[in-house]
Amino acid sequence: MLLAFLYHRVHTGKYSNSPQMMEEHLTFLKDKYPILLPGDPTSPIQTSICLTFDDAYFDFYHYVFPLLKKLKLRAVLGVPVKYILPSTNLKAEERLDVTYKTAMECYREKAPFCTWEELREMQMSGHVEIASHSYSHIDLTIPDVDLEEEVVYSKKILEEKLQVPIKAFIYPLGKFNKRVHSEVMKHYSYAMRIGNAANFSWPGLIYRIFSDNLNEKDQLLKKSKLPKYIWNYFLNQARGR
Parent domain of 189: 2-239
Q: Is 133 helix (H, G, I), strand (E, B) or coil?
A: coil
Res 164 pLDDT > 80: yes
Q: 213: pLDDT confidence band, cut at 50, 70 and 90?
A: very high
Q: Is 185 helix (H, G, I), strand (E, B) or coil?
A: coil
Give tens-digit pLDDT for 101-123: 899 999 999 999 999 999 999 99
Domains identified in the chain, total number: 1
Give tens-digit pLDDT for 39-57: 999 988 899 999 999 999 9
Q: What is the spatial distance between Cα 47 and Cα 117, in angstroms, rounded to a whole number?
A: 35
Average pLDDT, the chain: 95
Res 91 pLDDT > 90: yes
Res 209 pLDDT > 80: yes
Give tens-digit pLDDT for 4-36: 999 999 988 889 999 999 999 999 999 999 999
Mean pLDDT over 218-229 rounds to 94
Answer yes or no: are the C-beta atoms of 233 and 240 closer than 8 Å.
no
Any alpha helices (H) in the chain, and if so which ranges? 19-32, 58-59, 65-71, 92-96, 107-110, 116-125, 147, 154-162, 178-184, 226-239
Q: What is the spatial distance between Cα 59 and Cα 63, in angstroms, rounded to a whole number?
A: 6
CATH number at residue 174: 3.20.20.370
Q: What is the predicted pLDDT for the residue at 189?
A: 97
